[in-house]
Amino acid sequence: MNSQFRNIGIVTRPQTPEIGKTLHALVQFLHGAGINIYLDADSVNEGTAAAEDIPLCQIITKATLGLKCDLVIVLGGDGTFLSVARELAPHKVPVIGVNQGHLGFLTQVSHDNMVEGLGAMLGGSYLSEERILLEVAMERRSERPLALNDVVLSRGGAGQMIEFEVFINGEFVYTQRSDGLIVSTPTGST
């Protein structure tokens, strides 16, 4: 198979029943297509990866996937997909999801049609979508996490309203007292 994606990473959802079979089928398919496979170390540590698949893959951390891969395939649901997308966003690596659950608004490929769907995509039959991200900053924390779908600010377990200021691109918008605030991207809140 002649694909623009030569280095593909795989991330699995932890403790998903039967995901080992799906991972095995995916590794065998990608290996047969001559793809360099990078497997998230957590899949190996949890015993998800089959012993015969491990020698066909390079085992690396999620943090390293963005440096090594042209594409990352997520075996899981929306939560796993969002987690991986957040990690890879600074590297602009495309992510495609294989739904392992019931719903799956963000995972584009069904479990039952994984090989056919990914085969078509690797053969060039796909439309790429770029998504905007939200970067969140809170005065109490130094980290600035990214969000693909939404950011929720809530009062938590407190019994009273919270007061906060909203800035967009560093520009003051307003002060608000409420139970919280949800800011969503066009991807939408799951």
CB under 8 Å to 71, separation ≥6 — which residues? 5, 7, 8, 9, 93, 94, 95, 96
The tokens 């056919």 sit on which residue? 116
Exactly one of 78, 112, 150, 179 is catalytic; which is it? 78
Is 78 catalytic? The answer is yes
Q: Which residues are catalytic?
A: 78
